[in-house]
Structure 1
Amino acid sequence: ILVDPATDKLLGCHLLGPDTPELIQVMAACMMAGATKTNLDDTFAVHPTMAEELVLFRKPSEIVEGERQAPDPLAG
């Protein structure tokens, strides 16, 4: 989940796996509604479901400041 740290707004989501089509629709709806990461954190997770993972991501794995460029795959 990509979050703007200044506004807490959801910016994007990358998912991989067999149930991701169902999950990405939920994230798309949240993003279109202007949901924030705090909104996800405050949501009760229904267990056991794949969607509970979307509201259980609590801490950032990486904080990126400024602009980044994708690495050149042809660079040695």
Structure 2
Amino acid sequence: MNGTKLFGLMKKKFNLDDPDGFSYYWHDLRKEEEIFSTRPPGGGSVMIWASFGWGGKSSICFVDGRMNAKGYR
């Protein structure tokens, strides 16, 4: 593999009000369950986009709203 063709692209969405992929939780069955919320549901999310290649790296970009094919241009 020729190192000059190295290229990477990273894109990650973070939910601001709960963990991504949250599928279970734990609590002590001998005590009453307590739920704490620091913000109302639907607090939003942030998407970060960046890339790197042989010639260097791009600046980090914070994406507002949804990303589609037109937004990649």
TM-score bracket, normalised by the shorter chain, equals: under 0.3
The structure in which a higher percent of residues are strand is 2
Considering Cα pairs closer than 8 Å and 6+ residues apart, tell me whether 1 or 2 has the greater RCO: 2
Greater Cα radius of gyration, structure 1 or 2: 2
The structure in which a higher percent of residues are helix is 1
